[in-house]
């Protein structure tokens, strides 16, 4: 999907808030299975449903469906009831590490997203 962060955010809130699908269809999307070890290295405890994944966080967990294309990375999460959400879009062309600097151990947006959804709760 090609979108603005604002429209992606609006869509995810509507989807998880029950405004896009009938309850039975949304329940089917939320039925999850475990992810593989490589995937869980970035998102510990994540489980995948039909087009969305459940990601544990400091306030319980949230639903997500991010994506990468050449030059860009998008991460997003929305609370189970669709009332809080965040979309992070970044240019990845500038992600050149200086010599000797190790790669991040996990996705660099995890703490930012957790703070946006759970900070102050």
Which residues, including other chains, have CB under 8 Å from residue 13's CB and lie 6 or more apart? 78, 82, 83, 85
pLDDT tens track for 27-62: 999 999 999 988 888 888 999 999 999 999 999 999
For the question of whether the overall pTM of this predicted structure is more than 0.95, the answer is: no
Contact 68, 77 (CB under 8 A): no
Complete DSSP assignment for 13-75: HHHHTTSSS-HHHHHHHH--EEPPHHHHHHSTT-EE-SS-EEE--TTS-EEE--EEETTEEEE
Mean pLDDT of 96-111: 80
């Amino acid at each position: 999907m090609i979108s603005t962060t604002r429209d992606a955010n609006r869509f995810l809130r509507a989807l998880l808030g029950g405004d896009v699908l009938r309850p039975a269809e949304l329940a089917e999307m939320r039925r999850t299975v475990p992810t593989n070890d490589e995937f869980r290295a970035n998102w510990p405890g994540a489980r995948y449903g039909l087009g969305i994944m459940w990601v544990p966080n400091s306030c319980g967990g949230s639903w997500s469906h991010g994506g990468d294309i050449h030059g860009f990375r998008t991460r997003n999460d929305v609370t189970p009831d669709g009332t809080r959400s965040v979309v992070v879009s970044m240019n990845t062309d500038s992600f050149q590490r200086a010599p000797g600097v190790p790669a991040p151990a996990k996705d660099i947006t995890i703490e930012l997203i957790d703070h946006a959804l759970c900070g102050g709760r």
